[in-house]
Amino acid sequence: MSFLKYRLRMDKNVHLIMKILTVFSIVTILAILLGLLYKAYPILKTHSLTNLLLSKDWFPQKELFGLFPFISSTFQVTGLAMFIAVPFCLLASIYLSEYASKSITRLVLPLIDILAGIPSVIFGIWGIILIVPFIRDYVAPFFGKVSSGYSILTGGIVLAVMLIPVMVNILLEVFNTVSRGYKEASLALGATKWQCIKHVLLIKSAPGIISAIALSLSRAFGETLAVLMVVGNVTKSPKSILDPAQPLPALIANNYGEMMSVDLYDSALLLASLVLFIIVLFFNIIARVILRRLEKNNH
Amino acid sequence: MKFKAKFIEERIFKILMITSTSIILLSLGAILGSILYKGLPSLSWEMISQTPKGGFYLGKSGGILNAILGSFYIAFGATAIALLVSLPVALYINIYRKKFSKYSNLVRLCLDVLWGVPSIVYGALGFSVMLYIGLKTSLLAGIIIVGILIIPVMIRAMDEVIKTIPKGLVEASLALGSTKTETAFKIVVKQALPGIITAILLSFGRAIGDAASVMYTTGFTDNIPKSLLSQAATLPLAIMNLVSSPIVEVQNKAYASALILTFIILFLSIISRLLSIKYTKNKSH
């Protein structure tokens, strides 16, 4: 009898521990948000938020903390990366899910998984070895410009390659959820495979495609090292995509060590983190909610 | 044979699709190829087996053993911490709660969102918290931050495996009188073990490759860390430091270090693939 009691008590205790751990892992999001708000509060008290977000002047020594150049660089690098990655990923995912034979998918998917596992610093090194000279020696002269090769375009290309595995994996899952019946019905009516893809598959999975894009966007916004290594890190609003820039994550990573000497610097950088966190959270939640709904409809 | 527009269109798009897929594969090849091409000539036993000597950052002798060991310490520590949290949570939302209950799905949503939080945010906030509680930049701080960073990755990877455990197996165990705890740890964990190991390896790879979170929490040193409270170097940061040098020999060392990191990641990824192949084989028979 006492052994049974012991087992039951054990069960109860473990249950409690698990409950606490689960709640703890959910509460982390709130904790991060509150922590960032708390640290960003001093600067929000002395500067207006619109001024911080829209001013172009970033002179920490004079207590001017305009985040606009960094926010705009972030959007440019990310936008460029998406512009490059989306068509490739869409076409490749359609091919892999609809046309490719099983032996091809079995070969390609593991390779894409390997790409997913490569750390961002390796992407950065690759950018330095291959993309930077390419931009400097071929692309910039082609447009009649001089560029060091460290530019928004370089960052965009490196980031685009990093996004491929994220996007392709989600897109493949999304295409999988489109029920076979729809496709077969359209094929039976005499549509070619491509017509079926164009009029059935892409339409049915449009929300999923949007969420795949949103999810990759949120990944792209936060990507730090790879972009930092190739983007040039200059505190100026870039005029063209061949100019160097400094996105938000790079700003935080580059300056966090030396902030101690200036008042409010620390607070400004955590405000930058907060802005980043909110952007990422926004895209992430939208994407996840759409995906959840798709999955539910499918079950 | 009539060439209708729709067939031509299909042809064109098919060619585009195959090209896109090939370009994606080529970019993977370009990454591995260029790292191999640049890194291999500078890779030597000295790089792996020695710490930086005087003048290492000016192109003199020495290696990056400090960073390799630092990265492994952090990855092992962080994976251990994450495992302690992840396994119970993954079991809880699948066995103790109903698999697809509202609560479990909410937990999954939160974890997915948490997974997306940029690691630099963890690093920046983690550093502020460290200052607040008086913890200096150290191996311990790095382990904690990276641990928190990989928890969502690990839980979700385990969750995907544990989800697939047939309900009948759990019910049979419960019907025989075992408690939920016994069912979870003795039956479910055993059944999902290869998948759980894959999840651990995946998180380990993530932990070893992440740099933004350890940038300000672990510091950097040329010495091999002696205790949890000493600073530690990590591979990604060592690579970044070396590559930003203007001296060509030092840059070459960065490429060699990048090659070492790539080998480690590829090794982990191949092991986990072999495991999952074995796992699916067992399942089908």
pLDDT digits (tens, 9 = 90+) for A39-52: 888 888 888 888 78
Helix (H) or strand (E) holding A71: helix A68-94
Instruction: State the pLDDT at residue A140.
Output: 86
Angle made by CA atoms B16, B20, B23, in degrees to the nearest 5: 135
In 3D space, the residue among A254, A259, A267, A286 whose CA is nearest the CA of residue A70 turns out to be A254
- What pLDDT, in 10s, does the model give residues B86-107? 999 999 988 888 878 888 888 8
Residue A217 belongs to domain with CATH number: 1.10.3720.10
**Shared domain check, A107 and A17:** no
Mean pLDDT score, B188-195:
88
**Has residue B244 been placed in a domain?**
yes
**Has residue B108 been placed in a domain?**
yes
The encoded tokens of residue A52 equal 């911080």
Mean pLDDT score, A242-252:
85
**Shared domain check, A141 and A182:** yes
**Has residue B34 been placed in a domain?**
no
- Bridge partners (DSSP) of residue A65 are A58
Residue B53, min C-alpha distance to chain A (Å): 24
Q: Widest CA span of chain A, in angstroms?
A: 87
Instruction: State the pLDDT at residue A143.
Output: 85
- What pLDDT, in 10s, does the model give residues A203-239? 888 888 998 999 898 888 888 888 888 888 877 777 7
**Shared domain check, A162 and A15:** no
Q: Which domain holds residue A11?
A: 2-46
**Shared domain check, A37 and A142:** no
Whether the pLDDT of residue B282 is over 70: the answer is no
How many C-beta atoms surround the C-beta of residue A28 within 10 A? 18
**Has residue B30 been placed in a domain?**
no
Q: Domain tally for chain B?
A: 1
CA distance B204 to B215: 18
**Shared domain check, A247 and A112:** yes
The string over A194-231, giving b where at least 16 C-beta atoms fall within 10 Å of a residue's C-beta and e elsewhere, is bbbbbebbeebbeebbebbbbbbbbbbbbbbbbbbbbb
What is the percent of chain A with per-residue pLDDT over 70, rounded to a whole number? 97
Whether the pLDDT of residue A249 is over 80: the answer is yes
Categorize the per-residue pLDDT at B147 as very low, low, confident or very high, splitting at 50, 70 and 90: very high
Residue B109 in contact with partner chain A when CB distance is under 8 A:
yes
- Bridge partners (DSSP) of residue A59 are A64
Residue B115, min C-alpha distance to chain A (Å): 9
- What pLDDT, in 10s, does the model give residues B8-58? 888 899 999 999 999 999 999 999 999 999 989 888 888 888 887 777 777
**Shared domain check, A106 and A33:** no
CA distance B44 to B105: 50
Per the CB < 8 Å rule, is B23 touching A21?
no
DSSP-based three-state secondary structure for A179: coil
Per the CB < 8 Å rule, is B9 touching A194?
yes
**Shared domain check, A182 and A144:** yes
Per the CB < 8 Å rule, is A253 touching B212?
yes
**Shared domain check, A104 and A177:** yes
Which residues contact residue A142 at a Cβ distance below 8 angstroms, ignoring those fewer than 6 apart?
Answer: none
In 3D space, the residue among A283, A278, A261 whose CA is nearest the CA of residue A36 turns out to be A278
Contact assessment for residue A232 and residue A151, using Cβ atoms and an 8 Å cutoff: yes
A131-135, A244-248, B222-226: least confidently modelled range: B222-226
In 3D space, the residue among A155, A154, A156, A137 whose CA is nearest the CA of residue A146 turns out to be A137
The encoded tokens of residue B257 equal 């270090």
Whether the pLDDT of residue A298 is over 70: the answer is no
Residue B92 has its nearest CB partner, among A18, A219, A221, at: A18
Whether the pLDDT of residue A54 is over 50: the answer is yes
Name which residue leads in pLDDT, A194 or A56. A194
Residue B267 in contact with partner chain A when CB distance is under 8 A:
no
Instruction: State the pLDDT at residue B127.
Output: 86
Instruction: State the pLDDT at residue A244.
Output: 85
**Shared domain check, A74 and A15:** no
Residues of B in contact with A119 (CB under 8 A): 208-211, 236, 261, 265
A188-197, B185-194, B273-282: least confidently modelled range: B273-282
**Shared domain check, A234 and A126:** yes
Residue B46 in contact with partner chain A when CB distance is under 8 A:
no
Interface test with B, best of A6, A22, A150 (most B CBs within 10 A): A22
- What pLDDT, in 10s, does the model give residues A111-164? 998 898 899 999 999 999 999 999 889 888 888 887 888 889 999 999 999 999
Its ipTM equals: 0.89
Q: What is the average pLDDT value for chain A, to the nearest integer?
A: 86
Query: What residue of B is the nearest CA neighbor of A96?
Result: B21
Residue B98 belongs to domain with CATH number: 1.10.3720.10
Question: What is the Cα Rg of chain A in Å?
Answer: 24
**Has residue B45 been placed in a domain?**
no
Categorize the per-residue pLDDT at B284 as very low, low, confident or very high, splitting at 50, 70 and 90: very low
Residue A189 in contact with partner chain B when CB distance is under 8 A:
no
Residue B252 in contact with partner chain A when CB distance is under 8 A:
no
